[in-house]
């Protein structure tokens, strides 16, 4: 996707309902190739028979894409083993059809949309504590990540500092407006 098209794509995503944005991203990036965790490992982990979860072969970080759990609008920390163990998340939400590939900016936008639609119950922690910090650090402060996979993620979503600031402004005035009225915005 050309730079101008990609930036327009981000702006369009901001105005979509979460489910529509997810569908568009699934169409854009294609289906996820495997479940997030192996089912047998997941079930044994929930039953207390194994201590660690085995991940599926879903990764596309070599293409600069991360994997987002679609059900993050219903559950928190869906890839965190202690949270999974404590809350006993059903395996069906770890299956490949419940995942979507995203670049870093798309991931940021999805979490903003989740925050809006769940009135801050879900999505905001990931947005505020991880995604917004990375996007601001990478694209506004221009701290290029050094790890190979993170560097590839940086390159796929490459936007200018001006574009990044504009995106944050749109997110803060749009999907995050209500939550920002309750909690001071970081950016």
- The string of pLDDT tens digits covering residues 74-103 is 999 999 999 999 999 999 999 999 999 999
Does any domain span residue 185?
no
pLDDT at 185: 53
Does any domain span residue 184?
no
pLDDT at 60: 98
pLDDT at 183: 67
For residues 36 and 16, what is the distance between their CA atoms, to the nearest angstrom? 26
- Tokens, residue 151: 């560097």
Does any domain span residue 138?
yes
- Tokens, residue 161: 């500092």
Using alpha carbons only, give the angle 112, 114, 116 rounded to the nearest 5 degrees.
70
The answer to whether 69 and 99 are in contact (CB under 8 A) is yes
Count of domains forming the chain: 1
The answer to whether 14 and 110 are in contact (CB under 8 A) is no
What's the pTM? Answer: 0.94
Does any domain span residue 128?
yes
Does any domain span residue 30?
yes
pLDDT at 1: 76
**107 Rama class: left (phi>0) / alpha (psi -120 to 50) / beta:** alpha
Does any domain span residue 165?
yes
Q: Which residues, 6+ apart, have CB-to-CB distance to 106 below 8 Å?
A: 10, 13, 25, 157
Does any domain span residue 21?
yes
Residue 187 predicted with pLDDT over 70 = no
CA neighbor of 171 nearest in space, from 137, 147, 136: 136
pLDDT at 163: 98
Does any domain span residue 44?
yes
The answer to whether 93 and 75 are in contact (CB under 8 A) is yes
Residue 184 predicted with pLDDT over 80 = no
Domain limits at 127? 3-177
Using alpha carbons only, give the angle 63, 102, 167 rounded to the nearest 5 degrees.
115
pLDDT tens column, 30-40? 999 999 999 99
Start-to-end C-alpha separation, the chain: 27
For residues 97 and 95, what is the distance between their CA atoms, to the nearest angstrom? 6
């Amino acid at each position: 996707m050309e730079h101008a098209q990609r930036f327009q794509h981000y702006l369009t995503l901001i105005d979509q309902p979460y489910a529509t944005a997810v569908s568009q991203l699934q169409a854009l990036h294609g289906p996820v190739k495997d479940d997030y965790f192996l089912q047998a490992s997941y079930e044994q982990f929930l039953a207390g028979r194994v201590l660690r979860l085995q991940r599926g072969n879903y990764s596309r970080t070599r293409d600069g894409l991360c994997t987002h759990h679609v059900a993050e609008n219903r559950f928190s920390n869906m890839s965190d083993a202690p949270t999974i163990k404590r809350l006993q998340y059903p395996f069906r939400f770890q299956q490949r059809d419940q995942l979507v590939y995203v670049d870093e900016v798309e991931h940021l936008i999805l979490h903003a949309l989740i925050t809006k639609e769940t009135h801050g119950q879900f999505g905001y922690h990931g947005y505020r504590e991880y995604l917004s910090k990375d996007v601001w650090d990478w694209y506004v402060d221009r701290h290029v990540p050094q790890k190979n996979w993170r560097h590839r993620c940086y390159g796929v979503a490459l936007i200018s500092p001006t574009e990044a600031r504009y995106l944050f402004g749109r997110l803060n005035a749009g999907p995050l407006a209500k939550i920002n009225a309750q909690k001071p915005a970081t950016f």
